[in-house]
Structure 1
Amino acid sequence: MGEEPDLYPLVSIIIPTYQRPEYFRQALASATGQTYRNLDIFVTDNSHNEETKQVYEKYFADDPRVQYEWHPEYQDALENWHRANAYDNPEATYVNWLMDDDLFHPEKIAKMMDMFFQNSDIVLVTSYRKLMDADGKELPDTPWSKSPFQVTTRVSGDEMGRAMLTNMLNIIGEPTTVLARNQHCIMDIWGHQETC
């Protein structure tokens, strides 16, 4: 008897990394430790040494959800960024980037996916983000990291755009913060139907 298909949509997590093996280990552990389990985790590493590769091999190589690529031939971060941006698993309905010096809360993907399950017409979910220093100590909020809402709130794209321009603050957040429908799942230009 064959394996039953997963009932939950596949979420891609994309991690570009460069020569920060300990931060990378913590970041990837926060992705593999998600309570939402149906994940496709893609790592592209342009480190010019093997330290990050060794971290992957020691801690994560046995996790079938993790796909790791080492590109020491890339000369700068832009090439690695392009490789990460080009990654597109056609089976993944949603995508979230994770910078190698950031961490996911263990329930991040699960809670954000709940928002998609409850609101079939939204295209992205973002959240408050907590700042921390290099040792993991929490830092006070800044004007750009402080949440404009005290409770979960649905906001139209127009409202969000106006708020960002008016306040000159990125309140949507960095790529790590946002879970979005994958590009091949976005509605067509007229908004008639999804392609996934």
Structure 2
Amino acid sequence: MSQEPKRMFMDQEKNLYLPKVSVLISACNRPHMLKQALESVLAQTYPNIEIIIGDNSTDNGVEALVEPYLRDYDHIKYVRNVETGRNSFDLGNTLTLFSMATGEFVNFLHDYDFFHREKIEKMVHYFLRLPNVKLVTSYRQVVDDDGNELPPVVSTSKLLYKDSLINGKELGKHMLSQFTNSIGGCTTVLFKKSDLQEGWARYGGFHHVVLSDVATWMSLLSQGDAVYIAEPLSYVRIHLEDRMNTADLELGRVAEWASILLSSFENQFIEMAEYQGYLKQWNERWNSRMHELIASENHSFILQGVRKKCLRLLEDIPQIYSL
């Protein structure tokens, strides 16, 4: 990295008409991967970007890596969030980053993922062309620890084979029918900050922890359309997320899908017949976990608002089988 004195990243005249994009990087104990993530943002062809790094590590490795970048690039900000917790599903670090973003558009980036160099430019292009678009996503390429490409897993399979404008409700219903985040995680999606009227990870009036991205996408899709770009514009290490999966997180995932499903019915995103069909699928898929959901009052990954939604949904299950 250049050791020149701190320089302005943006030429003011060049960026006068380009909306600012905030890239928010949540970092935790992986400085070797964070370097690749950060460099992929610095290499973007889109010029008007701010970078904010939120660090909730247990050591000083991330801070040491970031320090020389802070000297050389004045569009990079760094905040240490040790008080928000130290797990990759921590909501506090994410909410801190979101509150600090000053860009019109926001794209999160996990420290273990990285961007294609044209990602932001191509995604902003669709927002500027299509006024009713609320999120832009793309195919995401799975990679290993060394960045080598791997075959897709079920959740990262290609949604479409050409760039497409998709009705927001239809895409949301597709996710509900599969109980799968086919849109992509935080790294993959660009959205307008002002469109998140409830805030990050909120849907139906409640925060979600394990499915914070799904809750956010459903909130956006309830307001308008989505664009899917068929080429890979983000590179993700899915297996790292798999290593984090525990019985607790699985239970949280089950409860939050229930909350999202019920909220989608309550806010008229889906009709009664659709709700009943999705509810049957949810019940048949996770019936064996119901007793744990009912007894999960002190469960660390299930917030009380989500638990109440889940219990409401459980009350509806006997009724759909009596129809």
Change (3 A) 1:27 1:78: closer
From 43, 64, 67, the equivalent of 1:33 is: 43
With normalisation by structure 1, the TM-score equals 0.85
Deviation at 1:119, TM superposition (A): 0.3
Deviation at 1:79, TM superposition (A): 9.2
Q: Which residue of 2 aligns with 1:114?
A: 125
Bigger CA radius of gyration: 2
Partner Cα distance (1:46, 1:108) in 2: 26
Q: Which residue of 2 aligns with 1:95?
A: 106
Partner Cα distance (1:105, 1:64) in 2: 22
Deviation at 1:88, TM superposition (A): 3.0
User: Which deviates further from its counterpart, 12-21 or 77-86?
Assistant: 77-86
Deviation at 1:169, TM superposition (A): 2.4
From 125, 136, 142, the equivalent of 1:131 is: 142
CA contact (8 A) 1:16 1:80 kept: no
Deviation at 1:47, TM superposition (A): 1.5
User: Which deviates further from its counterpart, 139-148 or 82-91?
Assistant: 82-91
Change (3 A) 1:91 1:100: closer
Deviation at 1:148, TM superposition (A): 1.6
Partner Cα distance (1:76, 1:18) in 2: 7
2:110 corresponds to which letter in structure 1? Answer: M
Q: Which residue of 2 aligns with 1:194?
A: none
Q: Which residue of 2 aligns with 1:65?
A: 75
CA contact (8 A) 1:46 1:80 kept: no
Deviation at 1:89, TM superposition (A): 4.8
Change (3 A) 1:131 1:8: same
- Aligned-residue Cα RMSD (Å) equals 2.4
The reply to whether residue 157 of structure 1 matches residue 168 of structure 2 is yes
Change (3 A) 1:99 1:93: same
Q: Percent identity?
A: 33
Higher helix share: 2
Partner Cα distance (1:90, 1:44) in 2: 11
From 146, 158, 166, the equivalent of 1:147 is: 158
CA contact (8 A) 2:57 2:86 kept: no
Partner Cα distance (2:89, 2:143) in 1: 28
From 4, 7, 12, the equivalent of 2:22 is: 12
What does the per-residue CA deviation read over 1:30-63, in whole Å, with 9 as the maximum and x for residues that have no partner? 1121111101111110112211111111345321
Change (3 A) 1:75 1:141: closer
What does the per-residue CA deviation read over 1:114-138, in whole Å, with 9 as the maximum and x for residues that have no partner? 1101101211100000000111111
With normalisation by structure 2, the TM-score equals 0.53
Partner Cα distance (2:67, 2:175) in 1: 41
Partner Cα distance (1:165, 1:140) in 2: 24
Deviation at 1:15, TM superposition (A): 0.8
For the residue of structure 1 that corresponds to 2:110, the secondary structure is: coil
Unaligned runs of 5+ in 1: 192-196
CA contact (8 A) 1:130 1:145 kept: yes
